[in-house]
Amino acid sequence: MISFSGNFQTNNFNEIFQFLILLCSTLCIPLSVEYIECTKMAITEFLLSVLIHN
């Protein structure tokens, strides 16, 4: 929570959420690389498919 005085206060939910974001971020790139290698897809094709489907 951010109070009106500008102080940043954390609670357990925020810490768990930040940990999940960190975990997802660290897994995203290796899993994407593994997917590209397994499907033998070109990197440009993969990036285009990610950009188009989002």
Q: pLDDT (tens digit, 9 = 90+) per residue, 5-48? A: 555 666 888 889 999 999 998 999 898 899 889 999 888 888 88
State the CB neighbour count (10 A cutoff) for residue 26. Answer: 10
Higher pLDDT, 15 or 54: 15
pLDDT higher at 1 or 37: 37
* Integer Cα distance of 10 and 20 in angstroms: 15
Which residues, in sequence order, are bridge partners of residue 2? 8
